[in-house]
Amino acid sequence: MCGIVGYIGDQPAADIILDALKRLEYRGYDSSGIATLEGKKIHLTRAVGKLAQLDTALKNTPQAGNIGIGHTRWATHGGVTEANAHPHLAADEVAIVHNGIIENYAELKAELLAKGHEFSSQTDSEVLAHLFLDIVRQGYKGAQAMQQVLARIKGAFALAVLLRDSPDTLFVARNASPLAIGIEDGLVCVASDAMAMAHLTRNVIYLKDGDYAALSLDELQIFDRDNQLANREIIRTSASPALIDKGGYRHFMEKEIHEQPDAIAHTIAAMTDAKGVLKTGLSDADLGDIRHLVILAAGTSHYAGQVGRYWLEGLAGIPVSVETASEYRYRAPAHLAGGAVVAISQSGESLDTLMALRHAKEMGLKTIAIVNVPESSIAREADIILPTRAGPEIGVASTKAFTAQLTVLFALAVDFGRAKARLSADEAAGLQQKLLSVPSAVGAAIDCFEAIRPIAQSLKKTPSCLFLGRGRLYPLALEAALKLKELSYIHAEGFAAGEMKHGPIALIEEDLPVICLLDGDDLSAKTISNLKEAEARGATIILIATASSAKLVDFDSFRVVIEDCDPLLAPLILAIPAQILAYQTAVEKGTDVDQPRNLAKSVTVE
Ligand code: M6R
């Protein structure tokens, strides 16, 4: 999604900003731009497409100035054009980059148009630039101008602003969208993700909601939402300063699929106490007090939550509801006493999940976060953090974060089961042993890349396909369908196999690929009957199955077989061939695997 970078120092700002933007590239964007201030002159370069286009434009027309702002844009208001790319200028006096959405922009634009302001883009962000200009022309300067602007705008945003008449100062603000300030001798920088500036400095201040700041090499002035000077803590960021590379793989996604045995093993290790017992970060008091859980998440993290519900209810008898984060706060969710929410997010910045978490907090619920980015907004705002140790996930399609989330959810179910006396110490230890065998089973499953290629070659020709699963494999069918549609743009839907006969079976026609997940559990015979019904109507059957369960089927056209595993943990292992199928199909189709069209890694708008 959109990325912001700002810099003040003794180096050419455009070079530093371009390098920092490259570190945000993985998040997904469609255009980019940089503005620098040289004395009282604002220079601007913008380009549609990849940062390479911006790089070329800057090489053709180098941009001077030691202070500047840059942006990667993921279109929200207005199409993908150079005019809609950031930074936006107003009368060569103001330059602005903006993440988020200004909800009252139409009203503000009408007011500014009436005053004679002229707009050259369709964005809400250009309205902000003109609002600044209007306020500056009323005589407000610097931080006071920012204060006036913030009083007028509604929505979630992070901003970085250059004002021609404050040539040494960078102005920034945030509300719900992340923004961090980096400080080092001789430089100040800002970024919407600390990863973009970790190579410049490890000293980072995370602004709080409602904060705004005036930053220069001499002084950092941070104000809170009540316009009072605020003292914000400087922390040492754990974000990696290294430019993460593909390590010899063709794509980050391929690399991240291979990293899963380590990601799961590290996640388990971080949840193992000094006596070698699997323990999440919940205290015994919390485990005892919490009587039901509400899982809040989006996309893949939501499907992880759905798998987690089977474990939490099955092993610990704790009631769980799994909520779509973007819906949760817009109804009136009712909770019984003793509830807690679990927000699941790879990035820790998905605005839908962050807002849902805040809503739950306002209702008095205890908040637990399963996050992969330890300094993210969700991690900082939750009462308890259960980290996944997947390491930075760069591919837009989530892989290793998903299996690491499943690992934490399984451990949480064991922890609750023990605390609620649903599991004896021996049973819990047995489950821990099973979990410990997952990294090697996942490693073995990764070997199916080549076996899947012919299936991908066949699948790439289809406009549509279905994924089926039952029990714990039903949410995995949803996740497998999401992976395929994200990466290969093939229409794919996941269904509970038993639900087919209630309607979706009408979709079956000659040669429609139906991909079935089988783990050999008690429901497998029923799943196979449902599959037979699809085959009887002409579907092409593709199996993703454990060795024993695959032997029960003799009517499939293609199969991917993995070693037998305990069905309880099968979602963690069958996830691998499902990911590889989506990956190989995308490779066969030649789509952009790491940055699929229209998608962003971290979705910071509603
Ligand atoms: O960072 P989060 O886990 O909060 O992200 C949630 C979804 O946006 C994310 O899982 C998305 O669905 C991925 N593209 C899935 O591959």
**CB of 344 within 8 A of CB of 302?**
yes
Whether residues 286 and 384 share a domain: the answer is yes
* Residue 13 maps to a domain: yes
Check residue 489 and give its pLDDT. Answer: 97
Sheet with 320-324, strands from edge to edge, namely: 320-324, 292-297, 339-345, 366-371, 384-387
Q: What angle do CA 228, 223, 357 make, to 5 degrees?
A: 105
In a domain, 158, yes or no: yes
Residue 602 in domain: no
Rounded to a whole number of angstroms, the CA Rg of the chain reads: 25
Interior CA angle at 490 toward 488 and 492, to 5°?
A: 120
Same structural domain for residues 236 and 282?
A: no
H helices present in 460-599, as ranges: 473-488, 524-536, 547-550, 570-589
Picking from 57, 141, 47, the residue whose alpha carbon sits closest to that of residue 94 is: 141
Cα separation of 175 and 191, whole Å?
A: 14
Catalogue the long-range contacts made by 498-506 (C-beta closer than 8 Å, 24 or more residues apart).
498/470, 498/526, 498/527, 498/530, 500/468, 500/530, 500/533, 500/534, 501/530, 501/533, 504/466, 505/533, 505/534, 505/537
Same domain, 308 and 392: yes
Q: What is the 3-state secondary structure (H, E, C) of 420-449?
A: CCCCCHHHHHHHHHHHHCHHHHHHHHHHHH
Does residue 606 form part of some domain? no
CB 506 within 8 A of CB 533: no
> Which atom of ligand 1 sits closest to the CA of residue 396?
14
Contacts of 251 (CB under 8 A, 6+ apart): 395, 583, 587, 593, 594
Question: What is the Cα–Cα distance from 399 to 389, expressed in whole angstroms?
Answer: 13
What 8-state DSSP symbol labels residue 466? E
Q: Tell whether ligand 1 has an atom less than 6 A from the beta carbon of residue 298.
A: yes
Nearest CA to ligand 1 atom 9: 299
**Distance from residue 398's CA to the centre of ligand 1 (Å):** 6
345 pocket-lining for ligand 1 (C-beta < 6 Å) = yes
Low-confidence ranges of the chain (pLDDT < 50): none
In a domain, 104, yes or no: yes
In whole angstroms, give the CA distance from residue 15 to residue 18: 5
Cβ neighbors of 2 (< 8 A, separation 6 or more) are: 29, 71, 72, 73, 74, 86, 98, 99, 100, 192, 600, 604
Best CA proximity match to 192, nearest among 179, 181, 208, 211? 179
Distances (CA, A) of 493 to 219, 453, 513, 514, 586: 54, 21, 11, 10, 17
CB distance 353 to ligand 1 below 6 Å: yes
Q: Looking at residue 78, what is its pLDDT?
A: 82
Task: Specify the length of the chain in residues.
Answer: 606
* Pair of tokens at residue 492: 């794919």
We report the CATH number of the domain holding residue 552 as 3.40.50.10490
Domain presence at residue 598: no
Q: DSSP labels for 386-403?
A: EE-------SSS-SHHHH
State whether 244 and 264 are in the same domain: no
Q: Is 193 in the pocket of ligand 1 (CB under 6 A)?
A: no
Q: What's the pLDDT score for residue 1?
A: 67
Residue 596 lies in a domain: no
The answer, yes or no, to whether any atom of ligand 1 lies below 6 A from the CB of 521, is: no
Crossing angle (nearest 10°) for helices 51-60 and 13-22:
170
Q: Tokens in use for 7?
A: 């810099």
User: Strand, coil or helix: what is 167?
Assistant: coil
Which string of DSSP letters, residue by residue, matches 173-219?
A: EEEBS--EEEEETTEEEEESSGGGTTTT-SEEEEPPTT-EEEE-SS-
Our answer on whether the CB atom of 121 is closer than 6 Å to any ligand 1 atom is no
**Tally of domains within the chain:** 3
Q: In which element (H, E) is residue 50 found?
A: none
The Cα–Cα gap between 372 and 376 comes to 9
pTM, 2 dp? 0.84
- Whole-angstrom distance, CA of residue 263 vs CA of residue 150: 42
Check whether residue 202 and residue 261 sit in a common domain: no
Closest residue by Cα to atom 16, ligand 1, is 397
The active-site residue, picked from 2, 189, 448, 516, is 2
The rounded distance, in Å, linking the Cα atoms of 553 and 401 is: 32
Phi, psi of 138 (to 5 degrees): -80, -5
Looking at 436, 453, 483, the residue that finishes a domain is 436
Nearest to 347 by CA among 452, 195, 470: 195
Burial 125-150 (b: 16+ CB within 10 A, else e): bbbbbbbbbbbbeeebebbebbbbbb
CATH at 216: 3.60.20.10
Residue type, 535: E
Print burial letters for 287-325: b (CB count within 10 Å at least 16), e (below 16): beebeebbbbbbbbbbbbbbbbbbbbeebbebebbbbeb
Tokens 């064991």 label which residue? 414
Distance 90 CA to ligand 1 centre (A): 35
Q: Whose CA is nearest to atom 7 of ligand 1?
A: 299
For residue 350, which atom of ligand 1 is closest to its CA? 4
234 located within any domain: yes
Q: Are 604 and 350 in contact (CB under 8 A)?
A: yes
CA of 305 to the centre of ligand 1 (A): 12
Q: Hey, is 356 helix, strand or coil? A: helix
| Residue that terminates a domain, selected from 415, 436, 457 | 436
SS3 letters across 270-339: HCECCCCCECCCCCHHHHHHCCEEEEEECHHHHHHHHHHHHHHHHHHCCCEEEEEHHHHCCCCCCCCCCE
Distance CA 359, CA 333 (A): 10
Q: Which two tokens stand for residue 219?
A: 């002084």
516 given a catalytic annotation: no
Please indicate, yes or no, whether residues 211 and 160 belong to a single structural domain of this protein: yes
Residue 200 tokens read as: 């410049």
- The answer to whether residues 510 and 467 belong to one domain is yes
Which residue owns the Cα nearest ligand 1 atom 12? Answer: 299
Give pLDDT tens digits for 466-487: 999 999 999 999 999 999 999 9
For residue 241, the tally of other CB atoms under 10 A from its CB is 14
Q: Is the CB of 399 under 6 A from ligand 1?
A: no
Any catalytic annotation for residue 601?
Answer: yes
Q: Are residues 474 and 526 in the same domain?
A: yes
Q: Give dist(CA 227, CA 225) in Å, integer.
A: 5
Domain end (from 223, 248, 273): 248
**388 close to ligand 1 (CB < 6 Angstrom):** no
Query: What pLDDT sits at residue 529?
Result: 93
Report pLDDT for 334: 87
Say if residue 403 is in the same domain as residue 261: yes
Is residue 468 classed as helix, strand or coil in its secondary structure? strand
- Residues 308 and 420 both lie in one domain: yes
Quick one: 583 and 561 in the same domain? yes
273 and 181, same structural domain? no
Which residue segment(s) compose the domain that 378 sits in? 255-436
pLDDT at 606: 79
- Helix (H) or strand (E) holding 1, with range, is none
